[in-house]
C-alpha cells in the first residue's frame, strides 16, 4: 500500500484556543462513533498509509490497537505494520526527526492527542477544506479555509481531488456585504464526495480512539453497569411494593 508523507507542522500543534491563524468557519460534525469497529479499522488503515510516514501516535501500541479493533495478529502485520517489526512497538514515525527538521524546518508533530486538543469536528472540517492556491508562498500549492496559510499539503488529494475557492459578495441583511466562501471540486479524485467524507470520518474516528483508547473499555463497562442498575431497580421496586403492602 502507498504511504504518503503528510507534513502536519504548526497547523495541527496543540494550542490554547483556535484563534491564531484560524478563520471563523462553521465546523462540520464528524459524527464519531467509537462503537463502529469497521470504521475504526478503515481509519487505522488510512492513518498508516497516509500519515505514519511522518506522524506518529507514540502512545499507541500495535498489539493494543489490534485487540481493541478486533484484528488478528496476521491482519495487523500484513495490513498495518509498515514502520515497525514487533507487535508490541508503539506507532512511531518512519522518518527520522533530524531529517524531518532538516527537510521541513520542523519535525511533524505526533498525533496521539490531536482530536483532544483540536476537537474531532475541527480535524474533520480541516481535512475537507483544502483548496488550490497559486500563491508562491504556499510551498505545496494549497491552502485551507479552516486554517489559513497552513503548512500541511493536501495529502488526501488523490482521494478527494482538487478543490478551488470561490468567493462572492453577498448581502449581510443590513445594507452591507460580506464575502461568502465556497469550495468547488475542480478535478475529481478516486472517491466521490460522499465516499471521501466517509473516509475522513473513519480517519478522525481512529484518531479520536487513539487519543483515549480507554473510552472503548469504559463504554463496554458502562453498558453492563446500566443493565445492572435496571435489574437492581426492578428488584428494589418490587421489594418496596412488597414492604409497603405489609405496612398498609
pLDDT for 205 equals: 97
Residue-level pLDDT, tens digit, the chain, 248 residues: 444 444 333 333 333 333 334 457 889 999 999 999 999 999 999 999 998 888 889 999 999 999 999 999 999 999 998 767 789 999 988 777 777 676 665 677 889 999 999 999 999 999 999 999 988 888 789 999 998 888 788 999 999 999 999 988 877 778 777 777 889 999 999 999 999 999 999 999 999 999 998 876 666 676 777 787 888 787 887 787 777 776 65
Query: What is the CATH number for 204?
Result: 1.10.760.10
* 22: in domain: yes
Q: What H or E segment, with its residue span, contains residue 74?
A: helix 73-80
Give the pLDDT of residue 85: 76
User: How many domains, the chain?
Assistant: 1
Burial (CB count <10 Å: 0-12, 13-18, 19+), residue 90: middle
Say if CB 12 and CB 114 are below 8 A apart. yes
Is 106 a member of any domain? yes
pTM score:
0.76
- Residue-level pLDDT at 151: 78
Range of the structural domain that residue 102 is part of: 10-128+192-212
Q: Please check whether residue 47 lies inside any domain of the structure.
A: yes
Amino acid at each position: 500500500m502507498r504511504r504518503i508523507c503528510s507534513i502536519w507542522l504548526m497547523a495541527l500543534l496543540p494550542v490554547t484556543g483556535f484563534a491564531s491563524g484560524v478563520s471563523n468557519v462553521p465546523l462540520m460534525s464528524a459524527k464519531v462513533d467509537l462503537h463502529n469497529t469497521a470504521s475504526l479499522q478503515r481509519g487505522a488503515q488510512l492513518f498508516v498509509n497516509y500519515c505514519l510516514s511522518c506522524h506518529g501516535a507514540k502512545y499507541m501500541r500495535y498489539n493494543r490497537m489490534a485487540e481493541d479493533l478486533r484484528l488478528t495478529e496476521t491482519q495487523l502485520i500484513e495490513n498495518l505494520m509498515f514502520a515497525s517489526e514487533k507487535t508490541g512497538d508503539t506507532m512511531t514515525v518512519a522518518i527520522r526527526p533530524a531529517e524531518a527538521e532538516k527537510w521541513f524546518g520542523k519535525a511533524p508533530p505526533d498525533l496521539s492527542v490531536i482530536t483532544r486538543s483540536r476537537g474531532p469536528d475541527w480535524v474533520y472540517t480541516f481535512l475537507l477544506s483544502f483548496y488550490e492556491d497559486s500563491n508562491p508562498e504556499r510551498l505545496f500549492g494549497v491552502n485551507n479555509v479552516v486554517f489559513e496559510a497552513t503548512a500541511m499539503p493536501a495529502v488526501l488529494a488523490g482521494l478527494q481531488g482538487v478543490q478551488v475557492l470561490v468567493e462572492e459578495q453577498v448581502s449581510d441583511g443590513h445594507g452591507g456585504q460580506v464575502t461568502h466562501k465556497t469550495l468547488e471540486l475542480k478535478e475529481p479524485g478516486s472517491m466521490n464526495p460522499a465516499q471521501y467524507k466517509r473516509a475522513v470520518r473513519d480517519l478522525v474516528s481512529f484518531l479520536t480512539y487513539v487519543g483515549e483508547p480507554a473510552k472503548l473499555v469504559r463504554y463496554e463497562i458502562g453498558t453492563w453497569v446500566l443493565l445492572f442498575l435496571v435489574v437492581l431497580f426492578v428488584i428494589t421496586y418490587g421489594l418496596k411494593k412488597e414492604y409497603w403492602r405489609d405496612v398498609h
